[in-house]
Structure 1
C-alpha cells in the first residue's frame, strides 16, 4: 500500500484538505458518497472541506487515508460487540488475546481480525468439500470419456484422453468468497502482523474471484447443515466486500470506493430491532410485521402513497390473557441524553401510538444510545381534550455489553405496559 497522509475526523466533525491532497478520482468518489448522505464535501478558496456525518470507518483514497472515528455514543472498543450483536455473528475474540496490535481507529483492523479468526477456525475443522465437475486431458482414463471431444479434437488418437471427472474439492463458492474477502481485508489493514497473517491464510483457500462475483455468490448462498459453520465468516466477508454495506443495515449501491464504512443510524436501527425482541421474549413478547395490512398508509396526496412504519412492532401479552397488545418502538440515533425529544419525533411516535395502541392507553417507545449508563423517562402528551399519549424514552448505555443492555430493557418493559 503506498504511503498516504492519514486524516482523522470525529463523528460529525470536519477537516480541511489542500487541493493537492485529493485527485479527480478521489473527488468523484467522495461526491458519490455525498450523494448517499455518508459525508459532506465543500470546495473552499484554499482546498476541500470534508464533513463527517453519522458514518464511521475507513476510506482509502489515492493520497489520503481517511479515518472517521465514532465519537457520539458507541465507543471504539465496543463497536465490534454491538456490530456482531446486530448481525447475529459470534463476538470476535478480544483484541488483547491476539498477537498483533490494533491501530487507533480499530474498526477496519477489527473486522479483518474477525474474518481471520473465523477462517482459522474453518481451516482447523477442515474446509468444506463438494463435488465439482472438471474436463481435462489425461494420459489414462479416469471418470468418463468425453467421446465427442475425443473424436473431434484427437481424431481417434488414444495417447491422451478427454475425460470428465466429478470429484469432491475445496474449490467451491463457500471457500472462494473467503479468499476474496481475505485479499480485500489485507489491503485495508495497517498492522504488518495482521496483514501478514491475512496473506498467509489466504494461500490456504481456493483462488480468489472478483469482489462483485463473490458478493453475488454470497447473496445466493443458502445455509444448510452442510455449510452452516460458514455463516459467521460469510457475514464478515460481506461486510468487507461491500465496504461496510450490510444487508438490512446499509447498502451503498453504485458507490465505488476502497474502504470500510458504516452508517451508525442504520446500525442502531438493527441493534434496536434485536435488542427489544430479545428483551420481550421472556415476557412472552415477539416482533410482528408493521407493513402490509398492518402498515400506516397515506393516500390521496397528488397520487403519491407514503407509509409510516416503526422500526419494531412488539406483540405483548395484555392484562386480558385472551388478547395481545401492540407496542411500537422506534430507534433514534440522537443525543436524547442531552436534549429533549424533538417535535417531529413526538408527532411520529404519537402517530404510531394512535395506530397500534388502544385509545385509553396510547403509548410508544423511543430507544436511543447514550455514553453513560441506561436511563428511562416518560413523556406525557396532553391536549385540552385530555391525554394524547405517553412516549417512553429508553437510553441504552453503549459502554455495556449488548446482552446486559437487553436484560435491562427487559426489566423496563413492564413500565411500558401502561
Structure 2
C-alpha cells in the first residue's frame, strides 16, 4: 500500500486538509459518505475541512489515511468485546495484536478476521461438491455427449466432460478471500499485513466484493458450515466498510475503509443488554417494539409511527399482569450533561404509551466510561407526577457480562 499522510481526529472533531491532499475521486467518495451521515466535507479558502460525525474507524483515500477515534476512550480489547457482543459472535481471543494503536480500530477487525481464518485453515477449509464443465484428454466424470458432437464433431482427442467433485472453491470460502483482500487495503501495521497476506492464499476470492456480499446475504448456516459464522461476521463488516445487517445499512459507498456508526452500534448493545438482563428474572423483549407502536394521525401527510429501541415485558405484582417498560438507547454523555427537554418529552411519550397510566416510567441507557451510574428523574405537573425516568449509565470499560448483571439488578 503506498504511503499516505495520516490524519487523526475524534468523533465530532474536524481536521484541515491541504488542497492537494484530496483528489477529485476522494472528493466524490467523501461526498457519498456525507450523504449517508458519516462525515462532513466543506471547502475553505485554504483547502478542505473534514469533520467526523458519530463515526469511528479508518478511511483510506488516495493520498491520506484518516483515523477517527471514539469520544469514549475504550481500550482495543474492550471495543472488540462490545462489538462482538452487539453482533452476537464469539469474542476473539485477546492477544498483543488487539492493543489499540495509531493504526486505528480497523486493524482490530482485520485481526479478528485473521484469527478466525487461521482457525478455519487449521481445521481444514470446508469443501463441497461443485459441478464443472471442462475439456480433458481422458474421461473424467461424465461425457458431455451434446458438446462433444457439436464442438468436436465426434473427434475423441479432447473430451468434453462434466465433473462433480468436492472442492474448496465454494462461496463460504470465497467471501473470506475477498474480505482478507479488503482488509489488506486498509491495514497499516506491517506485521498484520504480512499475516493477512499469508492467510489470504488459502482462500479463493469472489469475482467482486459485491458478489461476496450477495453471497453472505444468502448464506444459511447448518451443522456443515456453522463454524464459518464468526469469520463471516467480521468479513461482512470489512466488505461493507462498517455496514452490518440489523446494525448499519450498506449504501454502496466505494471508499476503502471501515467506518462504524456509533449510535446504531450502541442501540444494538442496549437491545442485547436489556434482553439478556431480564431473561433470568422472568422478563423478555417484546418483538418489534410492541406491535403497532405509538401512532400520530390527523396531521398533514401520512400517519407517523415511532417505537422505543427496546420494549421489555416484566413480571407484575401478580402472575396475571405484566409490566411493559420502554428502554431508549442514547449515545450521549449523560454523566456530564443533563437530559434534554426533547429527550424528556420522548421518554414521557413512551411511558404514557406503554406503561401503566397511574405510574408511567421509561429508561434511558447511555455509555459511561467511569463506572456504572443510576439516577431517577421525576417529572411533575400541576396535577401531580407525569412520569418517572430512570437514567442508567453503563460502564464501557466493564465487560458485557458485568454490564448485563448490573442492568438486571436495577431493572425491576
Aligned pairs, how many? 412
Q: Tell me what 1:358 maps to.
A: 356
Q: Tell me what 1:174 maps to.
A: 172
Root-mean-square deviation (CA, aligned residues, Å) is: 1.5
Equivalent residue of 1:300, what SS? Answer: coil
Using the TM superposition, give the Cα deviation of residue 291 of structure 1 relative to its aligned residue in structure 2, in angstroms.
5.0
Q: Tell me what 1:402 maps to.
A: 400
Give the distance between the partners of 2:74 and 2:219, measured in 1 at CA. Answer: 31
Give the distance between the partners of 2:305 and 2:334, measured in 1 at CA. Answer: 25
Give the distance between the partners of 1:134 and 1:82, measured in 2 at CA. Answer: 43
Provide the TM-score with structure 2 as the length reference. Answer: 0.97
Q: Tell me what 1:297 maps to.
A: 295
Using the TM superposition, give the Cα deviation of residue 76 of structure 1 relative to its aligned residue in structure 2, in angstroms.
4.4
More displaced 10-residue stretch of structure 1: 74-83 or 194-203: 74-83
Counterpart contact for 1:286–1:315, Cα < 8 Å: yes
Q: Tell me what 1:90 maps to.
A: 90
Deviation sequence 1:127-147 (CA, Å, 0-9, x none) = 111110011112222221111
Deviation sequence 1:307-360 (CA, Å, 0-9, x none) = 111000111111111222111100000110101101111111111111111112
Deviation sequence 1:216-275 (CA, Å, 0-9, x none) = 000111111111110000000000000011111111413221110001111100100101
Counterpart contact for 1:29–1:255, Cα < 8 Å: yes
Using the TM superposition, give the Cα deviation of residue 73 of structure 1 relative to its aligned residue in structure 2, in angstroms.
5.7
Equivalent residue of 1:403, what SS? Answer: helix
Give the distance between the partners of 1:404 and 1:167, measured in 2 at CA. Answer: 49
Equivalent residue of 1:174, what SS? Answer: helix
Whether 2:276 is the aligned partner of 1:278: answer: yes
Give the distance between the partners of 1:74 and 1:45, measured in 2 at CA. Answer: 36
Q: Which runs of 5+ in 1 are unaligned?
A: none
**Residues 76 and 201 of structure 1: is their aligned pair in 2 closer, same or farther, counting only changes over 3 Å?**
closer
Give the distance between the partners of 2:103 and 2:82, measured in 1 at CA. Answer: 16
* Structure 2 counterpart of 1:195, from 180, 185, 193: 193
Give the distance between the partners of 1:120 and 1:76, measured in 2 at CA. Answer: 20
Q: Tell me what 1:31 maps to.
A: 31
Counterpart contact for 1:378–1:393, Cα < 8 Å: yes
Q: Tell me what 1:65 maps to.
A: 65
**Residues 75 and 390 of structure 1: is their aligned pair in 2 closer, same or farther, counting only changes over 3 Å?**
farther
More displaced 10-residue stretch of structure 1: 369-378 or 39-48: 39-48
Using the TM superposition, give the Cα deviation of residue 74 of structure 1 relative to its aligned residue in structure 2, in angstroms.
4.1
Counterpart contact for 2:289–2:311, Cα < 8 Å: no
Give the distance between the partners of 1:291 and 1:236, measured in 2 at CA. Answer: 28
Whether 2:15 is the aligned partner of 1:19: answer: no
Give the distance between the partners of 1:186 and 1:325, measured in 2 at CA. Answer: 50
* Structure 1 counterpart of 2:332, from 327, 331, 334: 334
Give the distance between the partners of 1:159 and 1:48, measured in 2 at CA. Answer: 66
Counterpart contact for 2:76–2:100, Cα < 8 Å: no
Q: Tell me what 2:215 maps to.
A: 217
Using the TM superposition, give the Cα deviation of residue 214 of structure 1 relative to its aligned residue in structure 2, in angstroms.
0.2
Whether 2:251 is the aligned partner of 1:253: answer: yes
Counterpart contact for 1:177–1:209, Cα < 8 Å: no
Counterpart contact for 1:290–1:310, Cα < 8 Å: no
More displaced 10-residue stretch of structure 1: 247-256 or 3-12: 247-256
Using the TM superposition, give the Cα deviation of residue 200 of structure 1 relative to its aligned residue in structure 2, in angstroms.
1.0
Counterpart contact for 1:58–1:65, Cα < 8 Å: yes
